[in-house]
Amino acid sequence: MKAAIYCRLSEEDKNKQSATDDSSSIRNQKAMLRQYAAKQGWEVYRIYSDDDYTGSDRRRPEFNRLLEDAGAHKFDIVLCKTQSRFTRELELVEKYIHGLFPIWGIRFVSVVDNADTDNRGNKKSRQINGLVNEWYLEDMSENIKSVLTSRRQNGFHIGSSALYGYQKDPLQKGHLIIDEEAAAVVREVFTLFSQGYGKTAIARILNDRGIPNPAEYKRLKGMRYSQPETKNSTLWKYPAISSMLSNEIYIGNMVQGKYGSISYKTKQNKPRPKSEWYIVEGTHEPIIDRDLWDRVQHMAAGRTKPFSTGEIGLFAGKARCADCGYTMRSSKKGSKRYLKCPTRHVAKNACGGAFISVERLEQMVLEELNRLIRDYLDKGLLQSGTACLATAGKTDSQQEKLRTELSLYKKKQEEYAKGLRALYMDRAKGLLPEPDFAELVKEFISEKEQLAHRIADRERQLAELNGMKKEEPENPEKTEHGTAAKDTNGKPPESYTGLTSLNREVVESMIAYIAIGRRIPGTRNVPIEIHWDF
C-alpha cells in the first residue's frame, strides 16, 4: 500500500531560518506520519506540505497537487495528523473524504483524531469533526472581523502596507509616519494640480524625470507592494494621480474599509458604499495642509465633465492597447467619442499609443461580425445539404429561417453544456468559490432552459410548415439569407446578418476583448484583433 502524507501549518513559524525552510511543526508532522506509515507497513509515495496556509484556503498548491494525484490513483492512502490539517471545511470533507476518495479507491486516515474511512463506524465522528472545524472557521472569522472593526473605528492603520507618502511607525503599531522622500512627490502633485496642470500632464512630468510610481518605489525600497505584470507598469498614470488627489489620508484622516470581504470562505472583496467607510480625523501628521487640499478639491470638482450619463460605453473594458496591454480609456470631443491608451501621453515612447474613434471601431467590428456569420451560415448550409431557394416562396423562406435558428440554438446549447461541465471541474478543483459557483450554475441552467423552449418551439413550427407545404420544383440557385442569434433578454432574436449598429448586449456576449494597435503611418488604417467569445 502506498501512502501520501499531507502536512499543513497555518501560522508563521518563528523557528524558520528562511522562507524556503520547513517550519519545526511541519518537520514534526512529517516525522510522526513517517513513523506511523512504517508501523502499518505502508510505503510513503510522497510528502505534500503546505506551510503558512489556512485550512480554508482552497488555493493551497500542495493540497491541489495531492487531489490531482489522488484522482490519478498514484497512491492508496491519504495520511494526515488530523482531519483539520486536510481541511476545515465540512463541504470538502463530504466532497473528498466521503465522496470522491471512495470512488477513486483512496483511503483517508488521520492519526490524532482516529479518522479512517475504512472504519464505517467513525463516519459520524468525521462529520462532527468537519462541522466543528467549520464552526471554528466562522467564529475565528467573526472574532478577527470584530477586532479589525474596532481598530478601524479607533483610527489604527491595519493594512499590510502604508499609503505612498507614509510608512508604518516601528515604535507604535497602527500608526503612520511620513516618508519624506515620497511625501515630497505627493506635495508636488497637489501643487502642480493647484497651478492648473492636468492629471495626465502631471503623470508625464513625473515620468520624464524618472520618478518611480508608488508600486515601483516600494519595490525599490524593499517594502510590500502589489504591481500588475504588464508593460510600463512602473509609470505614473492618470488613475494614480486622480486617486492621490482625492485621498483624505494625506490631510491626516484615516480612511479604511473601502472594500469588504464577501465571505470568510473566500478572499474576494467587493466595494462598500462611502457611508460604510471608517473615517477618523487627525490620526497622523498630514502631508498636505488644509488650504491646499480645499483648493484642489474645488478645482477637481470644477473640472468634472458634465456629459457623463452613467451609461456604460459600447466597448467599456473590451478594448486593450495591443502594445502595452492596458485597457483603453474613453474620451469625448464634441459629439464624438474616442478610445485611447492610458499610457499614450504619460511618458515619451511609453508605448505605441493606440487611438481610435468608437464609431470607426464599431464599423470594423460590424464588418467582421457580418463576414463571420455569412461564412458560418454558408458552411453550415453546405454541410447540411440545405440551400436557400430564390423562388421557393414564403413557406420555404420561413422553414429556412427556422432551420438556421435551430442550428444556432443547438450549437449554443452544446456550449452551455460544456460550460456547466467546466464549472463543475473548477469547483471540484477549488478554483471557484461556492457563492460564485451557485450563481453561475443558476444562470447556465436558466439559459439552457430558455434554449430548450426555443428549440421545441422552432421544431413545432417546422412540423406545422412541413404539413402545410405544397410540392414545388426546386431551384438550385442560392440567394442571400439571414439568421438569428441569441438574444440576451430572452426575446425572439433578430437576424444578425446585415447589422448596421451594435449594442452593449451584443458586445458583452460575443467579444472577449479587442487588441487595438497604432495607426499605420501614411494611412488611416488602425490594425485591430478581435478575440471572440463564442
Render pLDDT for 95-140 as a digit per residue (tens, 0 to 9): 898 889 989 999 999 988 888 888 876 666 767 776 666 666 666 6
The predicted model gives 52-71 an average pLDDT of 87
- Report CA dihedral (183, 189, 192, 194) to the nearest 10 degrees: -90
Q: Which pLDDT score, from 0 to 100, does residue 316 have?
A: 80
CA gap 156, 151 in Å, rounded: 5
- Judge contact between 321 and 519, C-beta under 8 A: no
CA distances 371 to 378, 405, 499, 532, Å, are 11, 18, 11, 13
Q: Which pLDDT score, from 0 to 100, does residue 480 have?
A: 35
Lowest mean pLDDT among 2-16, 188-202, 239-253: 2-16
Each residue's pLDDT tens digit, 167-198: 999 999 989 999 999 999 999 999 998 888 88
pLDDT tier, 305 (very low <50, low <70, confident <90, very high otherwise): very low
- Report CA dihedral (311, 317, 322, 323) to the nearest 10 degrees: 90
CA gap 531, 170 in Å, rounded: 49
User: First-to-last CA distance in the chain?
Assistant: 47
pLDDT tier, 20 (very low <50, low <70, confident <90, very high otherwise): very low
Average pLDDT across the chain, whole number: 76
pTM of structure: 0.45
| β pairing state of 329-333 and 77-80 | unpaired
pLDDT tier, 65 (very low <50, low <70, confident <90, very high otherwise): very high
159 φ/ψ angles, rounded to the nearest 5 degrees: -70, 160
- At 430, list the grid cell: 477549488
CA gap 256, 153 in Å, rounded: 9
CA gap 147, 370 in Å, rounded: 58
Q: Which pLDDT score, from 0 to 100, does residue 534 have?
A: 62
